[in-house]
Amino acid sequence: MRVWSSRLVGEGWTALVRAAGVLVLALALIVAVTGRLDAEDRPAPKQPGAQFATGCKFGHTASADPITDDSHPHLHDFFGNASTSGSSTYDSLRKAKTGCFHQADRSAYWVPAVRWDGERLTPSRASIYYRTAGKDHERVRAVPPALKMIAGGLQERNHVLWSCGRKDKTKSQAPPRRCESGVLAATVYFPDCWDGRNLDSADHRYHVEYADTTDGGRGCPGSHPVPLPSVDATFFYELPAGDPSGRVLVSAGHGFWEEPANYHADLFNAWDQESLTRLVRECINGTKPTEPLPDQCRNPAPRRGE
Protein backbone atom coordinates (compact mmCIF):
# COMPACT_ATOMS: atom_id res chain seq x y z
CA MET A 1 0.00 0.00 0.00
CA ARG A 2 1.34 3.40 -0.96
CA VAL A 3 1.71 5.90 1.88
CA TRP A 4 1.73 9.61 1.07
CA SER A 5 3.80 11.91 3.24
CA SER A 6 1.95 14.72 5.01
CA ARG A 7 4.29 17.17 3.30
CA LEU A 8 3.30 16.04 -0.20
CA VAL A 9 -0.38 16.04 0.69
CA GLY A 10 -0.10 19.52 2.17
CA GLU A 11 1.70 20.87 -0.90
CA GLY A 12 -0.91 19.31 -3.22
CA TRP A 13 -3.81 20.77 -1.21
CA THR A 14 -2.18 24.21 -1.19
CA ALA A 15 -1.78 24.14 -4.97
CA LEU A 16 -5.42 23.12 -5.39
CA VAL A 17 -6.64 25.95 -3.18
CA ARG A 18 -4.49 28.46 -5.08
CA ALA A 19 -5.88 27.25 -8.43
CA ALA A 20 -9.45 27.55 -7.15
CA GLY A 21 -8.72 31.05 -5.93
CA VAL A 22 -7.40 32.07 -9.34
CA LEU A 23 -10.56 30.70 -10.98
CA VAL A 24 -12.83 32.61 -8.60
CA LEU A 25 -10.90 35.83 -9.23
CA ALA A 26 -11.16 35.29 -12.99
CA LEU A 27 -14.92 34.83 -12.79
CA ALA A 28 -15.25 37.90 -10.60
CA LEU A 29 -13.28 39.92 -13.17
CA ILE A 30 -15.58 38.72 -15.97
CA VAL A 31 -18.68 39.75 -14.04
CA ALA A 32 -17.13 43.10 -13.11
CA VAL A 33 -16.30 43.87 -16.73
CA THR A 34 -19.46 42.59 -18.40
CA GLY A 35 -21.86 43.32 -15.56
CA ARG A 36 -23.24 39.77 -15.74
CA LEU A 37 -22.62 36.27 -16.96
CA ASP A 38 -24.08 35.65 -20.39
CA ALA A 39 -27.79 35.02 -19.84
CA GLU A 40 -27.88 32.74 -22.88
CA ASP A 41 -25.61 30.30 -21.01
CA ARG A 42 -28.11 29.95 -18.20
CA PRO A 43 -30.75 27.24 -18.51
CA ALA A 44 -34.35 28.48 -18.47
CA PRO A 45 -35.97 27.89 -15.07
CA LYS A 46 -38.30 24.91 -15.01
CA GLN A 47 -41.84 25.98 -14.19
CA PRO A 48 -44.44 23.51 -12.89
CA GLY A 49 -46.78 22.12 -15.50
CA ALA A 50 -50.58 22.04 -15.67
CA GLN A 51 -50.88 25.77 -16.23
CA PHE A 52 -50.39 28.50 -18.81
CA ALA A 53 -49.91 32.22 -18.55
CA THR A 54 -50.65 35.48 -20.26
CA GLY A 55 -50.09 39.10 -19.41
CA CYS A 56 -51.94 42.28 -20.29
CA LYS A 57 -50.93 45.92 -20.36
CA PHE A 58 -52.86 48.55 -18.46
CA GLY A 59 -55.24 50.17 -20.91
CA HIS A 60 -57.42 52.93 -19.49
CA THR A 61 -59.41 54.16 -16.50
CA ALA A 62 -63.16 54.80 -16.60
CA SER A 63 -66.21 55.03 -14.34
CA ALA A 64 -67.78 52.05 -16.06
CA ASP A 65 -68.47 48.37 -15.44
CA PRO A 66 -69.49 45.93 -18.21
CA ILE A 67 -70.82 43.40 -15.67
CA THR A 68 -72.67 45.26 -12.93
CA ASP A 69 -75.33 47.89 -13.49
CA ASP A 70 -74.02 49.98 -10.63
CA SER A 71 -75.98 53.02 -9.50
CA HIS A 72 -72.78 54.23 -7.83
CA PRO A 73 -70.16 53.70 -10.54
CA HIS A 74 -66.59 53.86 -9.33
CA LEU A 75 -63.30 54.26 -11.13
CA HIS A 76 -61.95 51.08 -12.70
CA ASP A 77 -58.55 50.35 -14.20
CA PHE A 78 -58.95 48.19 -17.32
CA PHE A 79 -56.45 45.69 -18.73
CA GLY A 80 -56.42 43.64 -21.90
CA ASN A 81 -59.15 44.57 -24.35
CA ALA A 82 -58.70 48.14 -25.58
CA SER A 83 -62.40 48.84 -26.11
CA THR A 84 -63.86 47.87 -22.73
CA SER A 85 -66.70 50.14 -21.61
CA GLY A 86 -69.97 49.91 -19.74
CA SER A 87 -71.71 48.77 -22.93
CA SER A 88 -69.21 46.09 -23.95
CA THR A 89 -70.55 42.80 -25.27
CA TYR A 90 -68.81 39.57 -26.19
CA ASP A 91 -69.07 40.47 -29.88
CA SER A 92 -67.68 43.97 -29.37
CA LEU A 93 -64.74 42.62 -27.37
CA ARG A 94 -63.97 39.99 -30.01
CA LYS A 95 -63.81 42.69 -32.72
CA ALA A 96 -61.52 45.02 -30.75
CA LYS A 97 -57.76 45.12 -30.29
CA THR A 98 -56.08 43.66 -27.24
CA GLY A 99 -53.32 44.81 -24.93
CA CYS A 100 -52.58 41.22 -23.91
CA PHE A 101 -49.32 39.59 -24.93
CA HIS A 102 -51.26 36.55 -26.13
CA GLN A 103 -52.97 38.14 -29.13
CA ALA A 104 -55.69 35.48 -28.92
CA ASP A 105 -56.72 36.86 -25.51
CA ARG A 106 -59.15 39.73 -26.08
CA SER A 107 -60.71 39.35 -22.65
CA ALA A 108 -61.38 42.31 -20.40
CA TYR A 109 -59.92 42.35 -16.89
CA TRP A 110 -60.51 45.21 -14.47
CA VAL A 111 -60.12 46.31 -10.84
CA PRO A 112 -61.12 49.41 -8.86
CA ALA A 113 -58.66 52.30 -8.94
CA VAL A 114 -56.17 52.40 -6.05
CA ARG A 115 -54.72 55.23 -3.99
CA TRP A 116 -51.48 55.08 -2.01
CA ASP A 117 -51.08 57.58 0.79
CA GLY A 118 -53.56 59.90 -0.95
CA GLU A 119 -52.06 59.65 -4.45
CA ARG A 120 -53.82 57.66 -7.16
CA LEU A 121 -51.64 54.91 -8.57
CA THR A 122 -51.34 54.09 -12.25
CA PRO A 123 -51.00 50.32 -12.72
CA SER A 124 -48.33 48.96 -15.03
CA ARG A 125 -49.78 45.62 -16.11
CA ALA A 126 -51.43 42.38 -15.05
CA SER A 127 -49.85 38.93 -14.96
CA ILE A 128 -52.51 36.23 -15.40
CA TYR A 129 -52.21 32.48 -14.86
CA TYR A 130 -54.68 29.74 -15.77
CA ARG A 131 -53.88 26.80 -13.46
CA THR A 132 -55.13 23.39 -12.40
CA ALA A 133 -54.96 24.39 -8.71
CA GLY A 134 -55.25 20.91 -7.24
CA LYS A 135 -58.04 19.59 -9.47
CA ASP A 136 -57.69 16.60 -11.79
CA HIS A 137 -55.77 18.24 -14.64
CA GLU A 138 -57.21 15.88 -17.25
CA ARG A 139 -60.80 16.97 -16.49
CA VAL A 140 -60.32 20.75 -16.66
CA ARG A 141 -62.26 22.45 -19.46
CA ALA A 142 -61.74 25.79 -21.20
CA VAL A 143 -63.50 28.86 -19.81
CA PRO A 144 -66.68 29.17 -21.93
CA PRO A 145 -67.09 32.10 -24.36
CA ALA A 146 -68.57 35.25 -22.78
CA LEU A 147 -68.35 33.96 -19.20
CA LYS A 148 -68.38 36.79 -16.65
CA MET A 149 -66.84 36.48 -13.19
CA ILE A 150 -66.20 38.66 -10.15
CA ALA A 151 -63.77 37.71 -7.38
CA GLY A 152 -62.81 39.35 -4.11
CA GLY A 153 -64.55 42.20 -2.36
CA LEU A 154 -66.14 42.09 1.07
CA GLN A 155 -67.92 38.80 0.30
CA GLU A 156 -64.71 37.00 -0.67
CA ARG A 157 -61.87 39.03 0.78
CA ASN A 158 -59.85 35.87 1.43
CA HIS A 159 -59.42 35.51 -2.34
CA VAL A 160 -57.30 38.68 -2.56
CA LEU A 161 -53.66 38.75 -1.44
CA TRP A 162 -51.32 41.76 -1.36
CA SER A 163 -47.54 41.96 -1.59
CA CYS A 164 -44.64 44.18 -2.61
CA GLY A 165 -44.20 42.53 -6.00
CA ARG A 166 -43.25 39.14 -7.38
CA LYS A 167 -40.10 38.76 -5.28
CA ASP A 168 -42.06 39.31 -2.07
CA LYS A 169 -43.13 35.88 -0.84
CA THR A 170 -45.05 37.22 2.18
CA LYS A 171 -48.51 37.71 0.67
CA SER A 172 -51.30 38.70 3.05
CA GLN A 173 -54.95 39.74 3.03
CA ALA A 174 -53.99 43.18 4.31
CA PRO A 175 -51.93 45.33 1.95
CA PRO A 176 -48.43 46.26 3.11
CA ARG A 177 -47.87 49.70 4.61
CA ARG A 178 -44.33 49.90 3.25
CA CYS A 179 -42.74 48.53 0.05
CA GLU A 180 -39.02 49.17 -0.32
CA SER A 181 -39.27 47.52 -3.75
CA GLY A 182 -41.28 50.48 -5.01
CA VAL A 183 -43.92 48.04 -6.28
CA LEU A 184 -47.34 47.17 -4.86
CA ALA A 185 -49.14 44.06 -6.13
CA ALA A 186 -52.59 42.57 -5.61
CA THR A 187 -53.40 38.98 -6.63
CA VAL A 188 -57.04 37.99 -7.11
CA TYR A 189 -58.16 34.35 -7.38
CA PHE A 190 -61.25 33.65 -9.49
CA PRO A 191 -63.72 30.77 -9.02
CA ASP A 192 -62.87 27.60 -10.95
CA CYS A 193 -66.12 25.60 -11.04
CA TRP A 194 -69.02 26.44 -13.38
CA ASP A 195 -72.68 25.38 -13.24
CA GLY A 196 -72.48 24.43 -16.93
CA ARG A 197 -75.42 26.63 -17.98
CA ASN A 198 -75.22 30.31 -17.05
CA LEU A 199 -72.62 32.80 -18.28
CA ASP A 200 -73.68 35.28 -15.58
CA SER A 201 -76.11 35.43 -12.65
CA ALA A 202 -78.11 38.01 -10.73
CA ASP A 203 -75.34 38.60 -8.19
CA HIS A 204 -72.64 37.85 -10.81
CA ARG A 205 -71.24 35.14 -8.52
CA TYR A 206 -73.81 32.35 -8.11
CA HIS A 207 -73.08 30.67 -11.47
CA VAL A 208 -69.48 29.91 -10.46
CA GLU A 209 -67.91 28.45 -7.32
CA TYR A 210 -64.52 27.63 -5.83
CA ALA A 211 -63.28 24.04 -5.91
CA ASP A 212 -62.54 22.31 -2.62
CA THR A 213 -59.10 20.75 -3.04
CA THR A 214 -58.19 20.57 0.64
CA ASP A 215 -57.63 17.21 2.34
CA GLY A 216 -60.77 15.19 1.75
CA GLY A 217 -62.16 17.73 -0.71
CA ARG A 218 -63.91 16.45 -3.82
CA GLY A 219 -63.07 19.28 -6.22
CA CYS A 220 -66.06 20.94 -7.86
CA PRO A 221 -69.42 20.58 -6.09
CA GLY A 222 -72.40 18.89 -7.73
CA SER A 223 -74.10 22.26 -8.19
CA HIS A 224 -71.12 23.50 -10.23
CA PRO A 225 -69.72 20.32 -11.79
CA VAL A 226 -67.61 21.75 -14.63
CA PRO A 227 -63.94 22.24 -13.61
CA LEU A 228 -62.37 25.34 -15.17
CA PRO A 229 -58.82 26.63 -14.96
CA SER A 230 -58.23 28.54 -11.75
CA VAL A 231 -57.48 32.07 -12.96
CA ASP A 232 -55.30 34.21 -10.74
CA ALA A 233 -54.48 37.73 -11.85
CA THR A 234 -51.77 39.87 -10.27
CA PHE A 235 -52.04 43.62 -10.81
CA PHE A 236 -48.83 45.64 -10.42
CA TYR A 237 -48.56 49.28 -9.32
CA GLU A 238 -45.41 51.39 -9.26
CA LEU A 239 -45.28 53.53 -6.14
CA PRO A 240 -44.37 57.23 -6.22
CA ALA A 241 -40.61 57.79 -6.17
CA GLY A 242 -39.27 58.20 -2.65
CA ASP A 243 -42.57 57.19 -1.06
CA PRO A 244 -42.30 53.53 0.03
CA SER A 245 -44.73 54.00 2.94
CA GLY A 246 -48.44 54.53 2.56
CA ARG A 247 -51.97 53.30 3.03
CA VAL A 248 -54.10 51.63 0.35
CA LEU A 249 -57.63 52.82 -0.45
CA VAL A 250 -59.84 51.75 -3.36
CA SER A 251 -62.38 53.71 -5.39
CA ALA A 252 -65.97 53.61 -4.08
CA GLY A 253 -67.55 56.04 -6.55
CA HIS A 254 -68.58 59.69 -6.47
CA GLY A 255 -65.15 60.71 -5.24
CA PHE A 256 -65.19 58.43 -2.20
CA TRP A 257 -62.49 55.92 -1.33
CA GLU A 258 -62.89 52.87 0.91
CA GLU A 259 -60.89 50.23 2.74
CA PRO A 260 -58.83 47.71 0.72
CA ALA A 261 -61.12 44.84 1.81
CA ASN A 262 -63.39 46.06 -1.02
CA TYR A 263 -60.74 45.38 -3.68
CA HIS A 264 -62.01 42.94 -6.31
CA ALA A 265 -61.46 41.96 -9.92
CA ASP A 266 -63.74 41.27 -12.88
CA LEU A 267 -63.21 39.03 -15.90
CA PHE A 268 -65.20 39.04 -19.15
CA ASN A 269 -63.90 36.15 -21.25
CA ALA A 270 -63.30 37.01 -24.91
CA TRP A 271 -60.45 34.67 -25.86
CA ASP A 272 -60.33 33.21 -29.32
CA GLN A 273 -62.01 30.01 -28.17
CA GLU A 274 -60.03 27.68 -30.41
CA SER A 275 -56.74 29.08 -29.07
CA LEU A 276 -57.94 28.92 -25.46
CA THR A 277 -59.10 25.32 -25.87
CA ARG A 278 -55.74 24.36 -27.39
CA LEU A 279 -53.83 25.93 -24.48
CA VAL A 280 -55.99 24.08 -21.96
CA ARG A 281 -55.47 20.83 -23.86
CA GLU A 282 -51.68 21.20 -24.22
CA CYS A 283 -50.76 22.99 -21.00
CA ILE A 284 -53.26 21.58 -18.49
CA ASN A 285 -54.84 18.36 -19.77
CA GLY A 286 -51.64 17.14 -21.41
CA THR A 287 -49.09 18.27 -18.81
CA LYS A 288 -48.84 16.74 -15.36
CA PRO A 289 -48.29 19.21 -12.49
CA THR A 290 -44.88 17.61 -11.85
CA GLU A 291 -43.66 18.00 -15.43
CA PRO A 292 -41.74 20.97 -16.88
CA LEU A 293 -43.91 23.61 -18.48
CA PRO A 294 -43.86 23.55 -22.32
CA ASP A 295 -42.55 26.70 -23.97
CA GLN A 296 -45.92 27.68 -25.45
CA CYS A 297 -47.39 27.73 -21.93
CA ARG A 298 -44.93 30.19 -20.40
CA ASN A 299 -45.80 33.79 -19.63
CA PRO A 300 -44.98 35.84 -22.76
CA ALA A 301 -45.08 39.13 -20.84
CA PRO A 302 -41.99 41.08 -19.76
CA ARG A 303 -41.31 41.18 -16.02
CA ARG A 304 -40.10 44.71 -15.52
CA GLY A 305 -41.46 46.57 -12.53
CA GLU A 306 -42.24 43.49 -10.46
By mean pLDDT, which of 104-118, 219-233, 239-253 is the weakest?
Answer: 239-253
By mean pLDDT, which of 179-183, 185-189, 294-298 is the weakest?
Answer: 294-298
Other beta carbons within 10 angstroms of residue 63's beta carbon come to: 15
pLDDT tens digit string along 196-207?
Answer: 999 999 999 999
pLDDT tens digit string along 14-31?
Answer: 444 454 444 444 444 433
Indicate whether this model's pTM tops 0.85.
no
Q: What contacts 221, CB < 8 A, 6 or more positions away?
A: 193, 209, 212
pLDDT tens digit string along 230-243?
Answer: 999 999 999 998 88
Q: Looking at residue 239, what is its pLDDT?
A: 94
Q: Given the DSSP bridges, would you call strands 123-131 and 51-62 parallel, antiparallel or unpaired?
A: antiparallel
Q: Is 78 helix (H, G, I), strand (E, B) or coil?
A: strand
Strand order of the β-sheet with 193-194 is 208-209, 193-194, 226-227
Other beta carbons within 10 angstroms of residue 92's beta carbon come to: 17
Query: How deeply is 209 buried, as exposed, middle or buried, from its count of CB atoms within 10 A (0-12, 13-18, 19+)?
Result: middle
Domain limits of the chain?
6-39, 51-297
Mean pLDDT value of segment 209-222: 81
